[in-house]
Amino acid sequence: MNKQGFYFIEPFTEDFYRFFKLEGVHYEGRTKYQQVHCFKSRLFGKVLFLDNKIQSAQVDEFVYHEALVHPAMIAHPSPRRVLVLGGGEGAVLREILKHGPVKRAVMVDIDKELVGLCRKILPEWSRGAFTDPKVKLVFQDARRFVERSKTPYDIILSDLTEPLDGGPSLRLFTREFFEIVSGTLGDDGLFVLHAGSTDPHYNHFFSSCVKTLMEVFPVVRPYWTSMFSFSLPWGFVIASKNIDPSALDEKEVRRRLAARGVKRLGHYSPQIHRAAFALPPYLKKAIRAGRLITDAKPFVWKA
Amino acid sequence: MNKQGFYFIEPFTEDFYRFFKLEGVHYEGRTKYQQVHCFKSRLFGKVLFLDNKIQSAQVDEFVYHEALVHPAMIAHPSPRRVLVLGGGEGAVLREILKHGPVKRAVMVDIDKELVGLCRKILPEWSRGAFTDPKVKLVFQDARRFVERSKTPYDIILSDLTEPLDGGPSLRLFTREFFEIVSGTLGDDGLFVLHAGSTDPHYNHFFSSCVKTLMEVFPVVRPYWTSMFSFSLPWGFVIASKNIDPSALDEKEVRRRLAARGVKRLGHYSPQIHRAAFALPPYLKKAIRAGRLITDAKPFVWKA
Amino acid sequence: MNKQGFYFIEPFTEDFYRFFKLEGVHYEGRTKYQQVHCFKSRLFGKVLFLDNKIQSAQVDEFVYHEALVHPAMIAHPSPRRVLVLGGGEGAVLREILKHGPVKRAVMVDIDKELVGLCRKILPEWSRGAFTDPKVKLVFQDARRFVERSKTPYDIILSDLTEPLDGGPSLRLFTREFFEIVSGTLGDDGLFVLHAGSTDPHYNHFFSSCVKTLMEVFPVVRPYWTSMFSFSLPWGFVIASKNIDPSALDEKEVRRRLAARGVKRLGHYSPQIHRAAFALPPYLKKAIRAGRLITDAKPFVWKA
Amino acid sequence: MNKQGFYFIEPFTEDFYRFFKLEGVHYEGRTKYQQVHCFKSRLFGKVLFLDNKIQSAQVDEFVYHEALVHPAMIAHPSPRRVLVLGGGEGAVLREILKHGPVKRAVMVDIDKELVGLCRKILPEWSRGAFTDPKVKLVFQDARRFVERSKTPYDIILSDLTEPLDGGPSLRLFTREFFEIVSGTLGDDGLFVLHAGSTDPHYNHFFSSCVKTLMEVFPVVRPYWTSMFSFSLPWGFVIASKNIDPSALDEKEVRRRLAARGVKRLGHYSPQIHRAAFALPPYLKKAIRAGRLITDAKPFVWKA
């Protein structure tokens, strides 16, 4: 029994650390925008960290990406134009492209070097999505892109890193940004973002995202699932002008999945669609305590 | 910024460790049956480990205990006699006693010394439940007790430690034991057990519990939630002779909660009751790959 | 990492950590002046940390304390009055009192609470020294005490913590302080201090102490030994007005030890006295690169 | 623990671990004979581990290799033929070749693959020694080679890994092997080996090597230095048929160094030569408690 060797140490919080035994180091370095660690673990497979926050792991990136993409996509009657903010690994694109109606999927990521890295060291994530003719990649600040965008999108997906102090995502979780997003959505459009942990201790970012979206959108539906590789329950929010994704019954979800030819799902299902919107009482209470996030007073993630 | 100091190190698996910074050590020692570590963490509050497996933590023991107790209790039209196997911390009793109809709650735990410790160092768990006149404590091997039990129970809850090699729970997760349990249940009786992780990597114990219960009980309904302090999604199973807990609609759950006077719920709700039974496709597939657990070939948890 | 349980984690440097498995926690808290951690390790026995720097461990405190005390004491023809700066554990006093000629041993430590703690939880260090009638304890800043001291001392021993930023020892390793010390020594007086690591990487504090003492004292003799519990070779310096401790031959050391009745030595011996002053070439070179430490530009230990 | 990232974790003992933050991974793998980890640390530079035991580190490999090679080499009036057992990194050869009289240096290492790795990833160790025309490399079991060797050697240096259970060095630290070595030495020949830690806790291997050599050689002289990268004081032993290396005075050591043109020494010096043989009382006592190591009852290193 041999426990020595190479490890990745993650200061999850100041009081809690995770140690990953390495099967191999895929990458360690800095792009212009962020610190990158990519390694292999027997338990989690390939794992990607940006600025010391886990992004996704091979063992359950399907859970994260299906949970982010499909509820909003299915809620839209016919999503043709889709915009991804962030999403450097390419797995959001991969899931979007499973929906037959999609004509155009634009991905805006600030970090060209990172996207290049992901294509090279994490091909299992994108599985060819980057070269799909429907896909357009734009390397630009997401806010700048959305501000100048004219054509309305059916779905906008935010797959951004946490708003770390000085990091590239700080002004991408504010009321002002959400208002710009709202202006770029079509009438039946839906906006979805992942919004951090929903655990009983650290859920203030999630709660505040929900609270802030409520100031901008008529319909706001938080939901969650459990992310094994994050060691956390993880929150998402769908916001829209009129469509309520939680109102779809299982039968209709099943019908749309079949009609669009969506296949190879490991996490998402009609049942999961319904169940994900059920929040435990502690989380409902937490949402009431969320705060408004603005450009003037952004939410700064504490490492 | 001070990162030195005292920590608890948990070898979660051979490849993944969790480090808990200590705010204080409450207890370290051995009872006759198991190794006990109890400490305080700023993130998780008080935490109890038995044989190096986390049992519960102050921050979310309510999630675990509500998830274990209420779905089965609510599914029964009028639970009067309840039996707890294990449950040394006393929080299962605490939740059971919230249900008005309960007349008798018997708890059978092999480890008298541990129960004494929990009463002393974890009073926030039991909150007086141990001294409730409806409660009877029996310090005995759970299997031996159930084998000799004559009066039928409405609900039997299994809150046992994992079946570690040589540990006290090895023969409490087998077909033979489940058959004995079935014989001790009344006609409307329900049996519920927690059954380990439902993550995409380690779910074989969960799957095999489901598979084995299916050999014994006509109705078997697995469900799950996310346990923050376990760093895992966590599985439970309700098995019964005829009642299907997943068939209750939200309205009826709400009605029963009100009628019985069940209050102060942080995790459980009518919505959560329904949602918890929705399993993702990967887990349904995993259940099909579960194996039959028998006395001759028990499931042995690998540390 | 195959053992779960409680540990003490020491950030030795930013790049190197030591993990001590705990057999027990003796103390964790703050005095007015410093953070205290005291625990038991199977390998090192009881261990004391102040402000996250190891002070001494049961397994080899005899090495440290004999190495600090005896070379200077033996070099003096008849040490009667001895002053200890710091030395809270009481083991410096213990070693001093082995020398028959000693009439008075004054110990000045700023931290009364710490000395009380050491008497209580580390009695193996002092072994009754604190209650010896020759001993006088003064709880005061060492610099203030030495500045006002009038009676000359034969030996002054500095057993202080490293000069951490904002810590109590910052101005106790400067030319100005050494000049005050010099004024308090008798003509045959010797001053000895421990002065940090002599390893090939981190020896700048040691080198600078030597360099600074050379500005003040006619005779300066650095020496060293290996400290197992520190994971380091450890440096000391004797400075005096005329006596050269490295000139004593083994025979004379042996004679003095016998004449004074010094017994129960585990580390120090006539051979070791001679050998300790032999410095490897890399360390001689390092000393030439030491810098002058002054009140205006003190040496600040980087954690 | 405030720094995330890649680390090497070394279970120093069951109760004490060292964590090295990585600047880079140079190699991880297995040769036919042993597990190899090679990485870069900011504190220690390049570090080589074999079977999870540290072999040498860039920061102080000069200390280890000079301490192993020069005392025995200098003690011999004119070392011409030198044999190295183990020594895969090539730094023993490097130091041997500094002595002008050397005509032939034979190195016998069982692990050809490891030597190839060292030449490639640790060129700073050998600095060209492997291609010196005086050097001959033999890839064979050291015991087998010595048994069949006919020509007598002036110096035999043992730079072997610890005798781990099942490892390649188990029968290279026994009385029987030392007898074979003795038979291969010329009349003025000296045998030197490194023999593990001399700390107050773990010195039984050192003590037993000394005890066992005393059964075979008329002259046995243990000595030691401090190895920063090992976090330990480290022991060596010279054994010979008639030459006493500890009897050389500093002047003669200086004369020989000059006559042979030995240069670029960072650790070894005439003073150090003398000083290294001074053992503290605790170690002398420990040696008396050493045991005889034989083929029938070898010393097995406990990880």
| 3-state SS class at C134 | coil
Residue C1 has pLDDT above 70, yes or no: no
Q: Alpha-carbon torsion A183, A186, A190, A192, what sign?
A: negative
Closest residue on chain C to B24 (Cα): C28
The model's pLDDT over D188-198, given as tens digits with 9 standing for 90+, comes to 999 999 999 99
* Chain C closest-CA separation from residue B8 CA (Å): 4
Closest residue on chain D to C41 (Cα): D15
CATH topology of domain A61-288: Rossmann fold (3.40.50)
Instruction: Among A2, A5, A8, select the one facing D5 at the smallest CB separation.
Output: A8
Q: What is the mean pLDDT of residues D70-94?
A: 97
pLDDT at D303: 58
pLDDT band at B5, cuts 50/70/90? Answer: confident
pLDDT band at B2, cuts 50/70/90? Answer: very low
CB–CB contacts below 8 A, A to D: 59
Count Cβ atoms below 10 Å from residue A13 Cβ, excluding itself.
15
**Torsion (CA) A158, A164, A170, A174 in degrees, nearest 10:** 70
Residue C303 has pLDDT above 80, yes or no: no
Q: What angle do CA C174, C178, C182 make, to 5 degrees?
A: 170
Closest residue on chain B to C12 (Cα): B4
Annotated catalytic residue within A109, A111, A154, A159: A159
Q: Which residues from chain B sit within 8 angstroms of residue C35, using beta carbons?
A: 2
pLDDT at B256: 98
Looking at per-residue pLDDT, the higher value among B228 and B1 belongs to B228
Instruction: Among D16, D19, D272, select the one facing C21 at the smallest CB separation.
Output: D16
Q: Are B107 and B95 in contact (CB under 8 A)?
A: no
Partners of residue B288 on adjacent β-strands: none
The model's pLDDT over B231-283, given as tens digits with 9 standing for 90+, comes to 999 999 999 999 999 999 999 999 999 999 999 999 999 999 999 999 999 99
pLDDT band at D165, cuts 50/70/90? Answer: confident
pLDDT above 70 covers what percent of chain C?
99
pLDDT above 90 covers what percent of chain C?
92
Partners of residue D135 on adjacent β-strands: D105
Closest residue on chain A to D26 (Cα): A25
Q: Which residues from chain C sit within 8 angstroms of residue D269, using beta carbons?
A: 278, 280-281
Q: B103: closest CA among B83, B84, B81? A: B81
Q: Which chains would you list as touching C if contact means 3+ CB atom pairs under 8 Å? A: A, B, D
| 3-state SS class at A205 | helix
Domain ranges of chain B: 8-57, 61-288
Residues of B within an 8 Å Cβ radius of D: 1, 3-4, 19
User: How large is the ipTM?
Assistant: 0.95
pLDDT at B6: 92
pLDDT band at A168, cuts 50/70/90? Answer: confident
pLDDT above 90 covers what percent of chain D?
91
DSSP D161: P
Q: Which residues from chain A sit within 8 angstroms of residue D4, using beta carbons?
A: 8-11, 37, 49, 52
Looking at the structure, give the CATH architecture of the domain made up of residues B8-57.
Answer: Roll (2.30)
Residue D166 CB-density burial (10 A; 0-12 exposed, 13-18 middle, 19+ buried): exposed
Number of alpha carbons in the 13 Å side-chain half-sphere of residue A243? 23
Residue B3 has pLDDT above 90, yes or no: no
Annotated catalytic residue within D154, D159, D199, D249: D159
Q: What is the mean pLDDT of residues B192-216?
A: 97
The model's pLDDT over C62-105, given as tens digits with 9 standing for 90+, comes to 999 999 999 999 999 999 999 999 999 999 999 999 999 999 99
Q: A189: closest CA among A52, A82, A113, A35? A: A82
Best interface-test mutation with A: which of B231, B232, B253, B302 has the largest number of A CBs within 10 A? Answer: B231
| 3-state SS class at D118 | helix
Q: Are C58 and C43 in contact (CB under 8 A)?
A: no
Q: Which residues from chain C sit within 8 angstroms of residue A3, using beta carbons?
A: 1-2
Q: pTM for this one?
A: 0.92
Residues with Cβ < 8 Å from C72, sequence gap 6 or more? C155, C157, C190, C191, C192, C238, C245
Q: Which residues from chain A sit within 8 angstroms of residue C2, using beta carbons?
A: 1, 3
Residues of C within an 8 Å Cβ radius of A: 1-2
Burial pattern D65-78, b for ≥16 Cβ within 10 A else e, equals bbbbbbbbbbbbee
The top-level CATH class assigned to C7-55 is: mainly beta
pLDDT at A301: 86
Q: Which residues from chain C sit within 8 angstroms of residue B22, using beta carbons?
A: 6
Q: What is the mean pLDDT of residues D215-229?
A: 98
**Percent of chain D as helix, strand, coil, to the nearest 5:** 30, 30, 35
pLDDT at B297: 96
Best interface-test mutation with C: which of D70, D199, D250 has the largest number of C CBs within 10 A? Answer: D199
D159 counts as catalytic: yes
pLDDT band at B303, cuts 50/70/90? Answer: low
Residues of A within an 8 Å Cβ radius of C: 1, 3-4, 19
* Chain C closest-CA separation from residue D55 CA (Å): 16
Backbone angles phi, psi at C105, to 5 degrees: -130, 110
Q: Are B169 and B162 in contact (CB under 8 A)?
A: yes
| 3-state SS class at D122 | coil
* Chain D closest-CA separation from residue C73 CA (Å): 18
Contact C266 D276 (CB under 8 A): no
Annotated catalytic residue within B51, B60, B154, B159: B159
Q: What angle do CA A231, A237, A243 make, to 5 degrees?
A: 150
Residues of C acting as catalytic residues: 159
* Chain B closest-CA separation from residue C61 CA (Å): 21
Tokens of D88: 């895969």
Q: D239: closest CA among D195, D286, D292, D269? A: D195
- Gap between the Cα atoms of D22 and D40, Å rounded: 6
* Chain C closest-CA separation from residue D92 CA (Å): 19
Question: Alpha carbon of B7 to those of A11, B3, C30: distances in Å?
Answer: 13, 10, 18
pLDDT at D3: 64
Q: Are A207 and A198 in contact (CB under 8 A)?
A: no
* Chain D closest-CA separation from residue C180 CA (Å): 33
Number of alpha carbons in the 13 Å side-chain half-sphere of residue A218? 7
Instruction: Among B4, B8, B17, select the one facing C52 at the smallest CB separation.
Output: B4
Closest residue on chain B to C10 (Cα): B4
pLDDT band at D2, cuts 50/70/90? Answer: very low
Tokens of B140: 């005995």
Tokens of D271: 């003073």
Contact C60 D267 (CB under 8 A): no
What average pLDDT does the structure give for chain A? 95
Residues with Cβ < 8 Å from C96, sequence gap 6 or more? C69, C73, C82, C84, C102, C105, C155, C157
Residue B62 has pLDDT above 70, yes or no: yes
pLDDT at A303: 58
The model's pLDDT over A210-261, given as tens digits with 9 standing for 90+, comes to 999 999 999 999 999 999 999 999 999 999 999 999 999 999 999 999 999 9
* Chain D closest-CA separation from residue B162 CA (Å): 26
Contact C1 A1 (CB under 8 A): no
Q: Which residues from chain C sit within 8 angstroms of residue A9, using beta carbons?
A: none
Q: Which residues from chain A sit within 8 angstroms of residue B1, using beta carbons?
A: 14
Residue B118 has pLDDT above 70, yes or no: yes
pLDDT at C165: 86
CATH number for the region D17-56 comes to 2.30.140.10
Instruction: Among A6, A10, A28, select the one facing D8 at the smallest CB separation.
Output: A6
Q: D118: closest CA among D91, D156, D148, D89? A: D89
Contact A4 C2 (CB under 8 A): no
Q: Which residues from chain B sit within 8 angstroms of residue D9, using beta carbons?
A: none
The model's pLDDT over A62-121, given as tens digits with 9 standing for 90+, comes to 999 999 999 999 999 999 999 999 999 999 999 999 999 999 999 999 999 999 999 999
Partners of residue A25 on adjacent β-strands: A39
Q: B139: closest CA among B194, B88, B69, B192? A: B88
CATH topology of domain A11-56: Spermidine Synthase; Chain: A, domain 2 (2.30.140)
The model's pLDDT over C153-210, given as tens digits with 9 standing for 90+, comes to 999 999 999 898 888 889 999 999 999 999 999 999 999 999 999 999 999 999 999 9
pLDDT band at A2, cuts 50/70/90? Answer: very low
Q: What is the 3-state secondary structure (H, E, C) of C99-155?
A: CCCCCEEEEECCCHHHHHHHHHHCHHHHCCHHHCCCEEEECCCHHHHHHHCCCCEEE
pLDDT band at D1, cuts 50/70/90? Answer: very low
Residues of B within an 8 Å Cβ radius of C: 2-11, 17, 19, 22, 24-25, 28, 37, 39, 49, 52
pLDDT at C166: 82
| 3-state SS class at D136 | strand
Instruction: Among A2, A7, A52, select the one facing D7 at the smallest CB separation.
Output: A7
Contact D274 C276 (CB under 8 A): no
Residue type at C91 in one-letter notation:
A
Burial pattern C174-188, b for ≥16 Cβ within 10 A else e, equals bbbbbebbbebbbeb
